[in-house]
Amino acid sequence: MAELAALGVAASVLQVVDYGTRFLTTLYQVKRSKHDFLNNLQTLHSSSDNLRDAQHELQIICHSGSNTGAAISSLAKKSEAIAKEMLDSLKRIEENSHGRKRDAVIKTWLIILKEDKLKSLESRLTEVKADLTFYLSVNLRATARETLENQMQMLLEMRDMRADIKAMGDASSASEIQAGFGSLAMEYLTGGLHERQKLKSEFTDALIARIHHSEAKALSDSSSIQLSPQRRQHLEQIFISRIRYDTIQERELTIKEAHKGTFRWIFNENNAETSPIGFKEWLASDGSLYWITGKPGSGKSTLMKYLLQPVDESSNANRCNEYLQQWAGDRKLTIASFHFWAIGSDIQASKEGLLRTLLVQLFRAHPDVIPLVASSRWESLCLFNEDPRRLSLDELGDMFRQAIKHISTRAKLALFIDGLDEFDGDCNALISLIQECIASPIKVCVSSRPWTEFENAFGYYPRLKMEDLTYDDITKNYILNLLGL
């Protein structure tokens, strides 16, 4: 396969990079300390056979007119020239050092390889590493988009050529491989190198950085990466686990359960005494926002928890599903919720907590949108099983907006956000995010104290004022049950 031949050239180039790194390290040791210099020089001499092999392979490629591609051929020529220069220098030093003392050997070394020559060699090695990173990013990303059969054929050939690719084990099909194609390719490329782990880590980090580069991101379509169903599901779980945080369900669990019999009025037929105007009708209609408001301690959070609980133990559908499904029609209905909590951990009262919590629920319901809203991160996971970059608040916000956009084209989405007054940031920024959400064809039910900011933003939408509607619950249910009546 042409792709494997090109990777073979890349492996030879890496041999030069590996040796060149040690070559320069030994040279710079002369300036810092003479201790162990001769031992290191001897190590360079004894391992130069690998460099000669790599140079020989690169010479053949440079003069054979191989169809491995212009980019890798150019890289081979640069690397072959560097390898030749290092081998020639070693030969001259060896010829001029025979039978001489250490100080004389060091002097010879410094004469042959002066400061400007070292700087030039270092610069050229850096350029080769950068060119190789670019080449590998293009090659590996393209291969990951080929059929699973082609990928598997390449991996099997790599394993046959490098018995130390342990990550593949005895796998004989794509579904049995849990490592990313990029990780396995790096195992192949760095096999046998002196600085194997260091170079593998450096190039993996550089390749991931390249994937996240703005220019590369613009050209990326990570949804076209070919994966077995098992591996796709595994990566989706990894991705979601990175967004999740430890206390994600803590607030919901601390909210008191509604007392038996309370809040049933919210789904009653409209009448002046018991039904908030339009809540059930709002759920079933195209209405975009509903505001549950009330004084502190009036039961807003308890009501929100009640609305989101299953109808009974045998059902996963919450109490709003029946009416929301009328709105959804034959489309999939997706519900996500969040409870702000001012006295909890910092994240539980933050925009970051809101976004992470909602995204976890959205991605669990629609995992296929992950490559669409987090293209670079998904590609990094697919190739290397890792995505070490920290998620910023801006990125979470962009991810959330894109998720809303994509999901609302194929499903009906309803969000329930409790305790807006417990948000620890600028409530106007939170209001703007909610208004941005309802600009899409989705529903948002919010609860908060009747602050002026919320009154100005939500006052024109249908609302429920808790203290006007919970008196009967308190007297007829809670007190009577306490008295055993």
Lay out the sheet containing 463-465: strands in order across: 332-339, 411-418, 443-448, 289-293, 463-465
For position 354, what pLDDT does the model report? 96
What is the per-residue pLDDT across 336-346, written as a single tens digit (0 to 9) for each?
Answer: 999 998 888 88
Q: What is the pLDDT of residue 472?
A: 57
Q: 383: closest CA among 155, 241, 225, 240?
A: 225
Do residues 167 and 186 lie in contact, with contact meaning Cβ atoms separated by under 8 Å? Answer: no
395-412 tens-digit pLDDT: 999 999 999 999 999 999
Phi-psi category of residue 95: left, alpha or beta, with phi > 0 → left and psi -120 to 50 → alpha: alpha
User: Tell me, what's the pLDDT at 272?
Assistant: 41
User: Average pLDDT, whole number, for the chain?
Assistant: 82
Strand, coil or helix: what is 326?
Answer: helix
- Give the residue extent of every domain in the chain: 2-219, 250-483
In the structure, what pLDDT confidence band is assigned to residue 238 with cuts at 50, 70 and 90? very high
At 38-62, the pLDDT tens digits run: 676 677 777 677 778 878 878 877 7
Position 37 scores a pLDDT of 66
The topology (CATH level 3) of 250-483 is Rossmann fold (3.40.50)
Task: Judge whether residue 476 has pLDDT over 80.
Answer: no
State the pLDDT at residue 38.
Answer: 66
Q: What is the pTM of this model?
A: 0.84
Given this model, what pLDDT does residue 224 score?
A: 83
